Amino acid sequence: MFQTLATVLLFIVLLGALPFALKWLQQRSAGGAIGPSSSSRVVSAIAVGPQQRVVTVEVGPEGAKTWLVLGVTATQVNCLHTLTPPTATIAVGGVVAADSVV
């Protein structure tokens, strides 16, 4: 009787620990590149159709940022152009204006 009860309790404890173990494994396998610590941000997004957008994304480490102009559809993402970011940007009325355009 005691052995059966111990087995059932151990099974319940393992089931309760499963979500925490999965979250820990996901964080370890991601390598810290995904999520809030990621060094990428969306600069702009323009809809060109019902499911098509042109999106400008800033990626890379702090000293070597790069802008990628991406064509995004419901099924794929294509890199349309690669830019070096402007030296300084100023947001005016929702539009980004740059001091030096590359």
Structure confidence at residue 89 (pLDDT): 56
Task: Calculate what percentage of the chain has a pLDDT beyond 70.
Answer: 76
Q: Are residues 52 and 91 in the same domain?
A: yes
Query: How many structural domains compose the chain?
Result: 2
In this predicted structure, the answer to whether residue 32 has a pLDDT above a threshold of 60 is no
Q: Are residues 32 and 46 in the same domain?
A: no
How confident is residue 102, by pLDDT bands cut at 50, 70 and 90? very low
**Residue 32 belongs to domain spanning:** 1-37
Q: Does 64 or 80 have the greater pLDDT score?
A: 80
Phi, psi of 4 (to 5 degrees): -65, -45
Q: Are residues 46 and 87 in the same domain?
A: yes
Q: Are residues 24 and 61 in the same domain?
A: no
Threshold 0.75, pTM exceeds: no
Average pLDDT over residues 23-30: 81
Task: Calculate what percentage of the chain has a pLDDT beyond 90.
Answer: 54
In this predicted structure, the answer to whether residue 100 has a pLDDT above a threshold of 60 is no
